[in-house]
């Protein structure tokens, strides 16, 4: 449905997106995840035709955004982080105006607005000025304008930003309902948001692709965390000889054990080789801060990727 290939975007000296490639299948709910400044919004703006890429291509439904920007935008419903609302307008006035801007046939306007407000729970608010709505309901109005033309793709940039917990739950439920008919790309820096509604994850770090995976696969951790006193020699070699360990990497200082380094052991067997790792540590007379299987969630995955990126940057600089 969506193909992003070798996407680059520069703003003069700032290299915002660096050779990013990923594909989105029809029906996916993809979380585009990264810290502030990672390049998420830039990717979305290029995808929706609001920015031109410096290099690379993006196609939606087989249509290239550079060759036919309007053709791509017809397939997309877009909710930017700050929804383009007119507070002095009534909800129905705003949505009818958006029907005209979307070039929907005049005889389809009322039906389109009716379907959109039912989907977003705005039926009782049609005659209210947008300025009188809570932030959560203004977000609903933004979503309603994004789905008026029944797009095949929905692009949502920080859709729950600034909402209270109840409003967040309501918007999450709405996104799940919309996903029954549309492919969704959801950009956020809130990890729980992705775990709650997405089935795939694309992670950007400093403008580069750090992960592209099904959420269930990404959260399958087959790693053991080993905390060893800083300055200990031969750790990588000794851990690499433990039966079942396939890869050893230093993650840096252990935030939970001052004075220790955190090492990560990937393993291939069915069970985590914790006893064998402890046995190796005793044989080497290491001072340990702890040994335990890694419990994986998006926070630990993201922290691991960030640490690996930092270590790789340090090694490259050296």
Q: What is the 3-state secondary structure (H, E, C) of 187-228?
A: EECCHHHHHHHCCEEEEEECCEEEEEEEHHHHCCCCEEEEEE
Nearest Cα residue to 158 out of 187, 185, 193: 187
Same structural domain, 131 and 259: no
pLDDT of res. 20: 94
Which domain covers residue 233, as residue numbers?
Answer: 223-295
Same structural domain, 261 and 137: no
Q: What confidence category does residue 280 fall into, taking pLDDT thresholds of 50, 70 and 90?
A: very high
Same structural domain, 50 and 95: yes
Same structural domain, 213 and 260: no
Written as one string, the DSSP assignment of the chain is -EEEEEEEEEETTEEEEEEEEEEE-TT-EEEEE--TTSSHHHHHHHHTTSS--SEEEEEETTEETTT-HHHHHTTEEEE-SS----TTSBHHHHHHHHHHHTT--GGGHHHHHHHHHHHHT-GGGTTSBGGGS-HHHHHHHHHHHHHTT--SEEEEESTTTT--HHHHHHHHHHHHHHTTTSEEEEEES-HHHHHHH-SEEEEEETTEEEEEEEHHHHT---EEEEEEETT-SSHHHHHHTSTTEEEEEEEEE-TTSTTEEEEEEEE-SSS--HHHHHHHHHHHT--EEEEEE----HHHHHHHHHHHHHHHHHHHH-
pLDDT of res. 318: 58
Is 306 contained in some domain? no
Region label for 296, one of left (φ > 0), alpha (ψ between -120 and 50) or beta (otherwise): beta
Q: What is the mean pLDDT of residues 79-102?
A: 91
pLDDT of res. 271: 86
Q: Which of 108-117, 249-258, 262-271, 303-312 has the lowest mean pLDDT?
A: 303-312
Q: Residue 282: is its pLDDT beyond 90?
A: yes
Please answer whether residues 87 and 130 qualify as being in contact, where contact means their C-beta atoms are separated by less than 8 angstroms. yes
Q: What confidence category does residue 286 fall into, taking pLDDT thresholds of 50, 70 and 90?
A: very high
Same structural domain, 87 and 17: yes
Same structural domain, 130 and 239: no
Q: How far is the first Cα of the chain from the last one, in angstroms, to the nearest whole number? A: 42
Quote the tokens at residue 286: 């290491």
Same structural domain, 145 and 227: no
Q: What is the mean pLDDT of residues 76-93?
A: 90
Q: What confidence category does residue 313 fall into, taking pLDDT thresholds of 50, 70 and 90?
A: low
Return the ∠ at Cα 74 (arms to 162 and 137), rounded to 5°: 25
Please answer whether residues 291 and 225 qualify as being in contact, where contact means their C-beta atoms are separated by less than 8 angstroms. yes
pLDDT of res. 240: 94
Model confidence, pTM: 0.75
Is 80 contained in some domain? yes
pLDDT of res. 315: 65
Nearest Cα residue to 235 out of 303, 285, 269: 285
Same structural domain, 138 and 227: no
- Give the largest Cα separation in the chain, rounded: 80
Quick: pLDDT tens for 177-221: 888 888 999 988 788 888 888 999 999 998 999 889 898 888 877
Same structural domain, 158 and 285: no
Question: What's the mean pLDDT when you consider all of the chain?
Answer: 89
Q: How many CA atoms lie within 13 A of 300 on its CB side?
A: 14
Same structural domain, 164 and 249: no
What's the domain count of the chain?
A: 2
Q: Between these two residues, 199 and 310, which has the higher pLDDT value?
A: 199
Residue 227 belongs to domain with CATH number: 3.30.70.260
Is 158 contained in some domain? yes
Q: What is the mean pLDDT of residues 262-275?
A: 90
Strands 183-188 and 29-33: parallel
Domain boundary among 166, 186, 217: 217
pLDDT of res. 5: 94
Q: Residue 295: is its pLDDT beyond 80?
A: no
pLDDT of res. 317: 61
The pLDDT > 90 percentage for the chain reads 58
Same structural domain, 197 and 65: yes
Q: Residue 296: is its pLDDT beyond 80?
A: no
Same structural domain, 208 and 230: no
Q: What is the mean pLDDT of residues 15-21?
A: 93
pLDDT of res. 88: 95
Beta bridge partners of 250: 263
Q: Residue 36: is its pLDDT beyond 90?
A: no
Q: Residue 8: is its pLDDT beyond 70?
A: yes
Nearest Cα residue to 118 out of 147, 98, 94: 147
pLDDT of res. 204: 92
pLDDT of res. 65: 92
Q: Residue 148: is its pLDDT beyond 80?
A: yes
Domain boundary among 217, 245, 263: 217
pLDDT of res. 243: 92
């Amino acid at each position: 449905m969506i193909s992003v290939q070798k996407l680059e975007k520069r703003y003069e000296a700032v290299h915002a997106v660096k050779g990013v490639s990923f594909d989105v299948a029809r029906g996916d709910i993809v979380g585009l995840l990264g810290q502030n400044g990672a390049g998420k919004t830039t990717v979305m703006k290029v995808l929706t035709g609001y920015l031109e890429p410096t290099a690379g291509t993006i196609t939606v439904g087989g249509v290239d955004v550079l060759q036919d920007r309007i053709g791509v935008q017809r397939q997309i419903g877009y909710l930017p982080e700050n929804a383009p609302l007119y507070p002095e307008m009534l909800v129905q006035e705003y949505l009818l105006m958006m029907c005209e801007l979307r070039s929907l046939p005049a005889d389809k306007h009322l039906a389109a607005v009716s379907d959109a407000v039912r989907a977003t729970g705005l039926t009782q608010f049609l005659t209210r000025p947008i300025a009188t709505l809570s932030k959560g309901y203004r977000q609903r109005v933004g979503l309603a304008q994004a789905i008026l033309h029944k797009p095949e793709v929905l692009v949502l940039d920080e859709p729950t930003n600034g909402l209270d917990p109840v409003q967040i739950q309501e918007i999450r439920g709405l996104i799940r309902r919309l996903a029954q008919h549309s492919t969704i790309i959801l950009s956020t820096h809130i990890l729980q948001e992705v775990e709650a509604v997405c089935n795939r994850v694309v992670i950007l770090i400093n403008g580069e692709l750090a992960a592209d995976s099904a959420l269930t696969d990404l959260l399958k951790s087959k790693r053991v965390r080993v905390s060893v006193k800083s300055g200990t020699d031969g750790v990588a070699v000794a851990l690499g000889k433990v039966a079942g360990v396939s890869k050893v990497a230093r993650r840096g200082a252990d935030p939970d054990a001052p004075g220790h380094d955190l090492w990560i052991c990937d393993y291939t067997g069915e069970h985590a080789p914790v006893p064998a790792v402890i046995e190796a540590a005793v044989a080497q007379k290491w001072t340990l801060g702890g040994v335990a299987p890694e419990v994986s969630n998006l926070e630990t995955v993201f922290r691991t990727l960030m640490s690996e990126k930092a270590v790789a940057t340090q090694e490259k600089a050296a």
